[in-house]
Structure 1
Amino acid sequence: MRALKFLLAALVGVALLLAVVAGVHYRLFERSWFHFNQWHQGEQAQEASLWLPDYQATIQGKVVSGIDDDLSALTFDPDRNSLIAVTNGKPHWLELSLEGELLRAIPLVGFGDPEAIEYISEGVYVISDERLQRLLRIEVNEQTTLIDAAQAQQLSLGIDLNGNKGFEGLAYDTAGARLFVAKERNPVRIYEISGFPFAESTASVHINEHDARLFVRDLSSLQFDEQTGHLLALSDESRLVIELDNNGQPLSSLSLSAGRHGLERDVPQAEGMAMGPDGTLYLVSEPNLFYVFRKPAK
């Protein structure tokens, strides 16, 4: 009898230990505390934020015709009123309509593993090459038929190099001329770069680590909201979009799991995120899926 009690106590102890380990690994404790604060401070936070809990899926899991796989990254182009993306299997620069229709595709030459793209100004974009941890400034116009990395202005960073766990997301603050760069994982980081892509030399480029209190397992994409000055961070593995305030403090979140925000199924592998001037949130997921989230009209 004593041996049985000891065995049961040992099993309970192991189960508790495994629960704690799982909680730490999946950041469950930090997420639970955040969700409690989000609920507790809801009304106050809504007034000064995008307030992601109000968003609902209006287009979900739409297959982008003309793309078979590797749809990655997304940015909104206000001049073209369209979305710009990249693929990394057979690298291409892509233009999509706001309804997820493929409008244009341009081959990318000399890009090893393009994982993020960000609109900077009319016809100017920055692409991140994940494995080599380099940023490339490219220009596209109506006559462009091929984009060659050898012709692009480049910035190589080489921060915490560890293979296919490099730069996965980009966001640009036009007013502050700041480029935010997300490192996917090991460790999860957000860097703030000033001076690129308009610096005449790398001597005028400054890189700082952005103080973001993240509790996600990875980062796939970033989006800067000019109206609030807040940064949105997308995590594929945590199936979550988090709104961060100017101090990097989480304010609100949008779950990408089935049953939340009108989603019928989990978003399988969210890789890119962009926001229109009206606050509409666009997402793409590998292999070739398109999503739109909007706030209901009041």
Structure 2
Amino acid sequence: MPNILKAAFSSLNQVLILAGLGLFISGCGGSGDSGEKTVTPPVVIQPVDHTLSISVNGSGSVSSNVEGIDCGDDCSNSYADGQQVILTADAASGYVFQGWQGDCSGSSSCELIMNGNKSATAVFVEEVVEPTMFQATVSLSGEGSVTSEDSGINCGTDCNNEYEQNQQVTLTAAASSGYRFESWEGDCSGQAERCQLTMNTDKSAMAKFEVIVIEPTMVRATVSLSGSGRVTSEDGGIDCGNDCQNDYPQNQQITLTAAPDAGFRFDRWEGDCGGQAERCQLTMNSAKNTQARFEAVVVEPTVYQVTVNKSGDGQVVSTDGGINCGADCNNEYEENESITLTATADEGYSFDSWQGDCAGQDASCNLTINSDKNTTAVFVAEPTMYEVSVTLTGNGRVVSEDSNIDCGSNCSENYEENTSVKLIATAHAGYEFKEWTGAGCGTTPSCTFSVTENTEVVALFTEVDDGGNNGADIKISEYAPTGDAFQIGEVSNNASGITWQEDIQQYLVVRNGAAEIYRFNEDFNYMGVITKSGNINSDTEGLAFVGGNRVMVVTEANYAHKAVIDENTTNINGNYNVTPGFRLLPSPASNKGLEGVAVRPADGDTPARVYACQEGTASNSSAHMKVVYFDVPETDPTTLMSYNDDLTVVEPFDAETAFAGVITDCAGMTYDPRTGHLYIVSQESSKAIQVNPATGEVIDQLDLVGAPQYEGVTIGPNGELAFVSESNWIHIFQRP
């Protein structure tokens, strides 16, 4: 029921009750004697109303939950006594309701009971909106300052300030004394000293100042020598013997020091220096010339005694005849004189070793006489000897580490009792080493045993798969350049190998002599550099992708390293417990070691096979080309594995013979899984050849022109051949 009706019913009830009460009183009154009754009319009480008045301070309106108040328009109304009225304040746009005054209070809706006249005021205030602020940041390069017109920035001291969105800020650069303003970088640009910024986002700018260089007047100091000695300046500009002139800024002070060579003494200065003191100071107010004079010093020679002793039966003589021991075992020699002593055993004895100032087992000993010398030649009775003989089954070769056995040609040798002998088996083309029989040897290509009796050892070699072409009919001569070679400037020099790392879709280029690998994307855009440390020799020459983010890196010292290279790699830890290491061959002749490496990928139970080529050269007959391979162990070793111990390294064919008349060196290589063939690059012959990896047969060849010194090759993501040259050129070849 509406409240206004409730109020009406309440007033009506009051009137009816009061009227009934009047009638009752009237009926009970009057004289009993007369019998007449007087009726008093009822008293009517009118209902009570109260006025509610509303006012508004600010921009907004007030409404009531019952009819009567809608202020803005209707701000006053009368309500029955006791009626409940709820007032609600609504702010206009841009204003907020702050609170009530008068009979209302607080800042929410107001509830009133109309037990009297009421008044209330709704207070509205303007809404305050904080402006959006952005940061302006200034930095300096060189000496100078930057200020803003509004003084919010004064950099040197205060280089940051906040500004309202879209505010215009003008920066001015001022160079310090001795400097000039060069340019802006960042959100400011150009060479004008003033820069205006619109602050629609955070802004940063760098002011670059450069030193104003004033070239000094230069004058020359020239030194000459008489006699044997040297003159140096404290600043390092003069080192005479070699560098006897230097230019200096006018009026600079320089100090020259004279130092005689051995056997000479400093005598005096002549020219702009004078006197006999070894140090001379010059003021370079003009060109200066001086000479340092040295005189020879006559010194009596120092003499030392050489004494020879013997243990066992034999003789020791010196090349000059001064010592002939048996009989004459002492002689005097001048300081720094060189002599050679030679030990010769008597019959039934052999020379064993030197002791004292001579050492080793060579019968000849060279001595430089810089002090008294004393040495003993040890001769021992000849020992018991046993024969070691080798038999070959299949096609291969066995050599002893001491080179006394080389079977093929020399298959037996006599050894002293208890001598340790190491035999090494190498398979010929088309064969692989299988196992040893005798001497307790097993299945590794090396066998070490102690000679205690006559010993016969059999080496078994078995035929291997000929490494056919895997069904793909591809010839390297079908490839042709896609365009001109281009340089990769990030590699400063000596690029030596390249591979396509399929897992991260990047080319990797290795540089020799620098221990660095460079990353490039498919289009040869530079992506960063990887350094190497630990056991990886700095003379890295080639690399090949193995799989699983592993890359095999080879060095000129004939080592291979299986490194992890993924998209996050910045350094390769060369320690063997982190990056497995493999020694494939002995130390090379004339620094002509491993240059190229290629990987036949793993396939099911067949492990990855690593091929490597030793460089060789036409200019040195002792430096031979070799192609070898080993199968990657299933479990990574934590220590170095070596060809002469626990690593089976196979030389499937004689590369010098197989490649004779075609190429003279191996500079790089890659494996083509489509054909099962190797592509080998020759830097000296400027060509690439396609080779059967089992027999060494040269299947096809490609002449390389367009870049100097081709050093490496890889198969790119689209089957292209990417060649790298030592002068840091890339040359792409593609089949039609």
Residue identity matched to 1:182? C
Point out the structure with the larger strand share: 2
Which SS does the other structure have where 2:551 is aligned? Answer: strand
Of stretches 205-214 and 184-193 in structure 1, the one that deviates more from structure 2 is: 205-214
Residue identity matched to 1:280? E
Out of 507, 512, 527, the position equivalent to 1:103 is: 527
Query: Distance in 1 between the 2:584 and 2:697 partners?
Result: 26
Aligned 1:92-171 pairs, distance under 5 A: 92-110=516-534, 111-130=537-556, 132-150=557-575, 151-159=578-586, 161-171=588-598
Residue identity matched to 1:183? Q
Structure 1 residues 219 and 240, CA, compared in 2 at 3 Å: closer, same or farther? same
Query: Distance in 2 between the 1:144 and 1:100 partners?
Result: 18
Correspondence for 1:225: 672
Aligned 1:188-203 pairs, distance under 5 A: 188-196=625-633, 198-200=635-637, 202=641
- Cα deviations by residue, 1:232-265 (Å, 9 ceiling, x for unpaired): 11101001100013532111111013xxxxxxx3
Query: Distance in 2 between the 1:209 and 1:106 partners?
Result: 32
Larger radius of gyration, structure 1 or 2?
2
Structure 1 residues 278 and 156, CA, compared in 2 at 3 Å: closer, same or farther? same
After the TM superposition, which segments of 4 or more aligned residues of structure 1 sit over 6 Å from their partners?
none
Structure 1 residues 197 and 92, CA, compared in 2 at 3 Å: closer, same or farther? farther
Query: Distance in 1 between the 2:545 and 2:703 partners?
Result: 26
Contact 1:243 1:252 in 2 (8 A): yes
Correspondence for 2:647: 205
Which SS does the other structure have where 1:65 is aligned? Answer: coil
- Cα deviations by residue, 1:123-176 (Å, 9 ceiling, x for unpaired): 21111121x221111112333222222242111234362242000000000135
Contact 1:218 1:235 in 2 (8 A): yes
Contact 1:199 1:205 in 2 (8 A): no
Q: Percent identity?
A: 24
Of stretches 65-74 and 201-210 in structure 1, the one that deviates more from structure 2 is: 201-210
Correspondence for 1:237: 684
Q: Is residue 613 of structure 2 the alignment partner of residue 182 of structure 1?
A: yes
How far did 1:197 drift?
7.8
Q: Is residue 509 of structure 2 the alignment partner of residue 69 of structure 1?
A: no
Structure 1 residues 158 and 57, CA, compared in 2 at 3 Å: closer, same or farther? same
Of stretches 152-161 and 178-187 in structure 1, the one that deviates more from structure 2 is: 152-161
Q: Is residue 659 of structure 2 the alignment partner of residue 214 of structure 1?
A: yes
Residue identity matched to 1:86? V
Contact 1:69 1:89 in 2 (8 A): no
Contact 2:720 2:735 in 1 (8 A): yes
Contact 2:546 2:552 in 1 (8 A): yes
Query: Distance in 2 between the 1:162 and 1:73 partners?
Result: 21
How far did 1:96 drift?
1.7
Correspondence for 2:230: none
Structure 1 residues 139 and 256, CA, compared in 2 at 3 Å: closer, same or farther? same
Of stretches 48-57 and 174-183 in structure 1, the one that deviates more from structure 2 is: 48-57
Q: Is residue 694 of structure 2 the alignment partner of residue 252 of structure 1?
A: no
Residue identity matched to 2:701? S
Structure 1 residues 295 and 143, CA, compared in 2 at 3 Å: closer, same or farther? closer
Which SS does the other structure have where 2:591 is aligned? Answer: coil
Correspondence for 2:192: none
Query: Distance in 2 between the 1:188 and 1:225 partners?
Result: 21
Q: Which has the higher contact order (CA 8 A, sep 6+)?
A: 1
Residue identity matched to 2:710? A
Structure 1 residues 166 and 90, CA, compared in 2 at 3 Å: closer, same or farther? same
Which SS does the other structure have where 2:482 is aligned? Answer: strand
Query: Distance in 2 between the 1:67 and 1:169 partners?
Result: 19
How far did 1:50 drift?
2.0
How far did 1:48 drift?
5.2
Contact 1:75 1:274 in 2 (8 A): yes
Out of 74, 83, 98, the position equivalent to 2:507 is: 83
Residue identity matched to 1:272? G
Contact 1:65 1:101 in 2 (8 A): no
Correspondence for 1:23: none
Aligned 1:261-272 pairs, distance under 5 A: 265=706, 267-272=707-712
Query: Distance in 1 between the 2:651 and 2:516 partners?
Result: 30
Query: Distance in 2 between the 1:179 and 1:241 partners?
Result: 19
Kindly tell me the number of residue pairs found equivalent between the two proteins.
242
Query: Distance in 2 between the 1:195 and 1:294 partners?
Result: 31
Of stretches 71-80 and 155-164 in structure 1, the one that deviates more from structure 2 is: 155-164
Contact 1:223 1:275 in 2 (8 A): yes
Structure 1 residues 91 and 160, CA, compared in 2 at 3 Å: closer, same or farther? closer
Structure 1 residues 51 and 141, CA, compared in 2 at 3 Å: closer, same or farther? closer
Contact 2:715 2:722 in 1 (8 A): yes
- Give the TM-score of the pair, scaled to structure 1: 0.74
Query: Distance in 2 between the 1:221 and 1:197 partners?
Result: 26
- Give the TM-score of the pair, scaled to structure 2: 0.31
Structure 1 residues 163 and 294, CA, compared in 2 at 3 Å: closer, same or farther? same
